[in-house]
Structure 1
């Protein structure tokens, strides 16, 4: 691709795909149409110039390519001719494209689909994650993820699941799945599951945009809480890596680099959600992020308040990952031994044994306690489990420091 086409593909391809799915009513046909539209763009745009509205141009081109494809195939399957005629006779609206990705999320998160299929399909279609990347997030094989996606598309087609945002009466029961998927999209951007970069700004930006759309549609406390949580995490982006791209721990970040406007907006939303008294896990996580955001320095963080919030969160949503995060907060307030004992308890139950951040935390606690061999073993285990290059370099640096300490 030429640079301009490649840039537009990165910024617009998922939006174009969402609209093509709405227009064509078929995932696979829409994906083929998307690729054909960009192929035409690669041929024409260098000579003709980029259109004023490249997204609309791509949708229109993809639509015509899909109609042509159906007509060619109609020689063997006559019903496809009717489908092509119906598509050609139907005008598509360029006015609703901003909401198409939200419509697509609700379609992918329809209760007729299994939860793991909902998430896999959304990450694939909304975010353009590869099956390998999704498999990494699910701790599954790429073949398993591919099968889930194929089955989910088939279910949508066979059950004629509508491509639309549910009515207000239906929204609440559909909300949990959508919130979960939006947060998974954000997390993949906030801390990429693999690759050369720690973050993927396009994913966090898109998740926040979807969160804003959803809050306009349904300003429930947990929707507000999720948006607040994403904004507060996103506020730290510039400080999370060094100029050379190395990972910077929260305790060592230059807080002057934090985005004050996102912090103000996030904290305001947290307060708004908590005052309803109907808050859940996203609101509580946002409240924890707000305590971090409001601390002038790492040393002035209110760790007892954070531990207390984790206690409430654990009662609402028991999870070993939340326990791990609580253990880190306990260690910050009470010392590394207290944190290590909690992490060891999680491992003894057979949980998080394949989670690199758990072994990394154990390594850090042992390092601080001067238990060098145990720290080395934990860091090596964490290193073997992570696929993210900045995290690998961080762990390798920790291991090098332990080697020097031993000498």
Structure 2
């Protein structure tokens, strides 16, 4: 059986208002007002506002003539407001009296209304304001803020990503090394590797830098597919890549590095219709709590030099590290620490770099590090004196670091 609802009171001169000027003013402004007396009876409602914004209320007022418990009162507006968390909280409220704080509700028309209440002559004054434009601006600001945060995240990611290969760049790699070093004290044996594509300059010289870039992208993709879960591959610059092997034994680190070396030489790289065969040299070093991540990276770089000096297309460990005694471990190549190499170069004479270079100046085709036959091979492979002196300067820098 349909409930007969009482009609809306005449707003301008409702009982108890006395036709006062403030109340009369509410009839012409775009703000809604309802007044309930101490007994919960509706004594005033701004019909102009509610007729415009809530036609259903204006023509057939829900049980808003009396008001006691909040939940019972606001439940009568279920046809006017969307079932939002804010509205559900209202209809579940068993308290009485005015709302303790303003609430914003979304009407089924799509507009938003802020309702604020306070005590009035023992009853309740309820003020309704259309805040749709304000909510729209707030939503637009939130959307803009979210887009800005996303853009900042993307920019930060770009700052840590190599533009050519999509791999992490040197900055991100160094940050990962610093984080990994913090785990060393917890007994986690992480290792760092430096990978260099052998004679890559010949690819650029023969086919051009665009072709060289394509080869770098393919090399990066091959290694990324071969990488163990949790390990990190980065491009450090040029044809040089860095790899962080997480939680590895000596044998596991050697096997993981060997997988990367094999995948690069497994099949030729296609440059147009030409096939280019490439190999890689890899230097490895353990991360240590006793030295900085940069020093560990330099140790791996020195191991890379020794891999190249040993004939390239090979892996060289800086030193056995914490896992050297493990059963089944792959023996690390015998090495001399970089500091010792630098000390040997400097000797007891305290020579500076210029005098050291003069002391070891090659005579004819005799290289100070290779015998004559090895030096001829080095020249044929493009390992010139400039390359050698770069290595010497690097050792000197380590000694004075």
> What TM-score do you get using the length of structure 1 for normalisation?
0.22
Q: Which has the larger radius of gyration?
A: 2
> What TM-score do you get using the length of structure 2 for normalisation?
0.22
More helix by share: 1
More strand by share: 2
